[in-house]
């Protein structure tokens, strides 16, 4: 049972006494094909800054998640120029300029907090009965 003290030490170190950050996002956004929309990602601990290294991950239905934005504004290789990461006020932002049906996916916002990472989730959904594209962010 020599692993028990190590496990307890790791749990004490990882849980700590600091409060957990909560990542916040809008509840829904809508745009037409070719339109522009901006997803934002905030933190309960205060303003999101470059020190949070905000990232965005896109997961299309039945596919492996793919990073699209790293370190706040760095578009990853192969990601179309219509995806832009930035800071907007006190939040991280992902802007999709010229939204296309192929952008239908779940989008995750990732924030780094000195010794741990938190994420939020959003869902891009295309409606088949209308020409609208709807972005719905999950709570």
Mind listing the pLDDT tens digit of every residue in the chain (139 residues)?
333 333 222 223 333 334 577 777 766 677 778 989 898 989 888 899 998 888 999 888 889 999 999 888 899 999 999 999 999 999 999 999 999 988 888 788 888 877 655 555 554 443 333 333 334 444 4
Q: Is the pTM of this model over 0.75?
A: no
Token reading at 125? 């959904």
Between CA 75 and CA 85 the distance in angstroms is: 7
Question: What integer pLDDT is reported at residue 4 of this predicted model?
Answer: 33
DSSP for residue 76: P
Between CA 59 and CA 139 the distance in angstroms is: 17
Domain map (residue ranges) of the chain: 20-134
CA geometry: angle 133, 65, 124, nearest 5 deg: 15
- Beta strands 55-59; 36-43: pairing state: unpaired
Burial 71-91 (b: 16+ CB within 10 A, else e): ebeebbeebeeebbbebeeeb
Question: What integer pLDDT is reported at residue 131 of this predicted model?
Answer: 31
Question: What integer pLDDT is reported at residue 73 of this predicted model?
Answer: 87
User: How far from chain centre, in Å, is Cα 41?
Assistant: 7
The CATH class for the domain spanning 20-134 reads: mainly beta
Question: What integer pLDDT is reported at residue 76 of this predicted model?
Answer: 93
Q: Kindly write down the DSSP assignment for every residue of 31-73, as one continuous string.
A: E-TT-EEEEEEEETTB---GGG--EEEEE-TTS--EEEEETTT
């Amino acid at each position: 049972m020599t692993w028990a003290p190590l496990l307890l030490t790791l749990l004490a170190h990882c849980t700590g006494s600091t409060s957990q950050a909560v990542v916040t996002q809008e509840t829904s956004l809508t745009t037409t094909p070719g339109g522009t929309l901006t997803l934002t990602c905030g933190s309960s601990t205060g303003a999101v800054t470059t020190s949070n290294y905000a990232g965005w991950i896109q997961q299309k239905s039945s596919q492996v998640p793919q990073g699209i934005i790293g370190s706040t504004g760095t578009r990853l290789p192969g990601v179309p120029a219509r995806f832009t990461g930035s800071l907007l006020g006190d939040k991280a932002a992902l802007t999709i300029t010229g939204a296309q049906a192929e952008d239908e996916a779940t989008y995750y916002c990732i924030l780094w907090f000195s010794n741990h990472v938190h994420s939020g989730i959003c869902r891009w959904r295309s409606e088949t009965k209308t020409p609208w594209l709807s972005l719905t962010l999950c709570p």
